[in-house]
Structure 1
């Protein structure tokens, strides 16, 4: 259930309204149920009367028969298990349609709220007189807005965040508490969660027997529209060119992106991914958690890297790689199967000698 203390207000929706808004077919339900308000969302096994739920994964199908939800968004293959009293909305992508429905019912779940203020500019914030803030910007206590900064309307800068000199942040964006942006140009509708650091020095040193000489990091970080960056993530600015994060890319918590890296559009980087300098990820790349990407390599469009992999070579477009060192997943699976067979043969041989 939704805690309305944290996520006000709930905007009730009827199953009929949701079906129309999402373009879904309606099945089942008691007479009159289509026009009854749904006042919350919940997982299918915990749902109560008056709530909306969804079913997409067959692992949870057994919960459908006993759910108390008033309305369930579900795939057609589960339709025959739907209780007669529950309204079903048939979807080809139940999880995506549930996300759309939940955003209609709980708009504050997607439009992030400030840590301390709902709107306005706090007198406890420090804003350089040369900074340019459009109407409708929220700046919370202890935030620092540096010289010649530009921030677009509808953007929220949370408590303790630092927007360093000459940084530009677009419209309807969100910069979480204690985040730091420097040497960066940030687009519209970008979400930067708490504790993110963007634009700090890249790890660049000219190594030698007399010591390691610091290489000036003279580039920027370019973050395009609709990017989301998880808490604690660090994105280094470029050395002599820019570090780029392409539009629509979603980055999880505690990700490290090195200098000069180019991340394409609509990529997914899961927690604890590390990308070394000057590597290129083309559009729609997905990298599983705790994976490492070596420097100066290219990962092709639509490639998928399994969790806990270490990539040291270029990956072709559409490739599915896994392991350490990473290689095509089919090769990894064949090697694991061969090792398993060898182990079983060895065990059988040892038993025969006993």
Structure 2
């Protein structure tokens, strides 16, 4: 691909070393000394690039591919042109992710916005009662409140606000403009720009005097290796805690209501809204713009299709879609029947016009 100064190419990794790092098998070991410097889409890949394919839909892109190597799985091996060395993997997607992390480590988390040697910028405000371990970085205009604790290797971006009493673990990144309050944050957590963590949730008691606010005195607990996207909001609990489980990844522009509990290794895509007190199991995947009702349970390993409306409990391991969400095979059958009836009416109308 055409390189830019934001993510410059790597100094070089041999195909043999790259294969070992990614857990792949280099089909022709005579190419082991060839050098890879960057990643690229299949169609635009040039010498020095590595790419990957996941399906036969990439067949046309391969006609212009000049990559130094390509990751693929065994069923697609016959598609690869003879001039491109193959890195055979059980999961091409996983292998490519590992390769990308090796070649462009600066692309894995928000970068430091400012230069300079000072770990704590003189333009940041750090309350005298805050406790910072060695190696903490605080960029300009960040505010670190009273009684905050931050672990070594963590970086707080410019303009970020860390509220009183917050605990942040080691090797985290809190990007510019994010706000974290009333929260306990584990190790190796990434919170992207503009995220809002720990504000009070939407809780009111309607009555003759209007909407009376219900006090929100819970916390947000974010476990290790969680990543939270830009402008996502996670409300603190009302009286219980809002919990995000270990290694869960949350996209940009997601709303997580008060008292929600999300399990480990979940994936939640952009514009999902999760209403209060919902419990989501481990390994759950929720597609973009889905809405999840409050006070329901989504079982371990369930998958929710994009733009679905989940009104009731979802059993473990099930795939649901539609509004209201129901088993995906039922939803797709209904869609197919609707389209078939629509096509039939359109043909009848066309015949009558003739």
**TM-score, length-normalised on structure 1?**
0.94
Deviates further, 106-115 or 301-310: 106-115
1:319-340: CA deviation from partner (whole Å, max 9, x where unpaired) = 1111111111122122223333
Count of residues in Structure 1 that have an aligned counterpart in Structure 2: 352
Aligned match for 1:86, one of 84, 87, 92:
84
How far, CA to CA, are the matches of 1:256 and 1:313 in structure 2?
A: 19
Q: CA deviation at 1:198?
A: 0.3
Q: CA deviation at 1:108?
A: 1.2
5+ residue gaps, structure 2, are none
User: Are 1:68 and 2:98 matched, yes or no?
Assistant: no
1:236-295: CA deviation from partner (whole Å, max 9, x where unpaired) = 000000000001111010000000000111111110000011111111111111111111
The answer for the alignment partner of 1:151 in structure 2 is 150
How far, CA to CA, are the matches of 1:345 and 1:112 in structure 2?
A: 52
The answer for the alignment partner of 2:327 in structure 1 is 328
Q: CA deviation at 1:351?
A: 7.2
The answer for the alignment partner of 1:178 in structure 2 is 177
Conserved? CA contact 1:267–1:285, under 8 Å: yes
Deviates further, 152-161 or 70-79: 70-79
1:40-62: CA deviation from partner (whole Å, max 9, x where unpaired) = 22111111112211122321123
User: Structure 1 residues 353, 46: closer, same or farther in 2, change over 3 A?
Assistant: closer
User: Structure 1 residues 87, 347: closer, same or farther in 2, change over 3 A?
Assistant: closer
User: Are 1:52 and 2:77 matched, yes or no?
Assistant: no
How far, CA to CA, are the matches of 2:263 and 2:182 in structure 1?
A: 20
How far, CA to CA, are the matches of 1:188 and 1:242 in structure 2?
A: 19
1:94-128: CA deviation from partner (whole Å, max 9, x where unpaired) = 11101101111222122542122476111100000
User: Structure 1 residues 11, 127: closer, same or farther in 2, change over 3 A?
Assistant: same
User: Are 1:26 and 2:31 matched, yes or no?
Assistant: no
**TM-score, length-normalised on structure 2?**
0.94
Q: CA deviation at 1:132?
A: 0.7
Q: What secondary structure, in the 3-state scheme, does the structure 1 residue paired with 2:45 have?
A: coil
How far, CA to CA, are the matches of 1:8 and 1:152 in structure 2?
A: 30
The answer for the alignment partner of 2:7 in structure 1 is 7
Q: What secondary structure, in the 3-state scheme, does the structure 2 residue paired with 1:45 have?
A: coil
Q: CA deviation at 1:3?
A: 3.9
How far, CA to CA, are the matches of 1:118 and 1:190 in structure 2?
A: 24
5+ residue gaps, structure 1, are none
Conserved? CA contact 2:305–2:322, under 8 Å: yes
Q: What secondary structure, in the 3-state scheme, does the structure 2 residue paired with 1:53 have?
A: strand
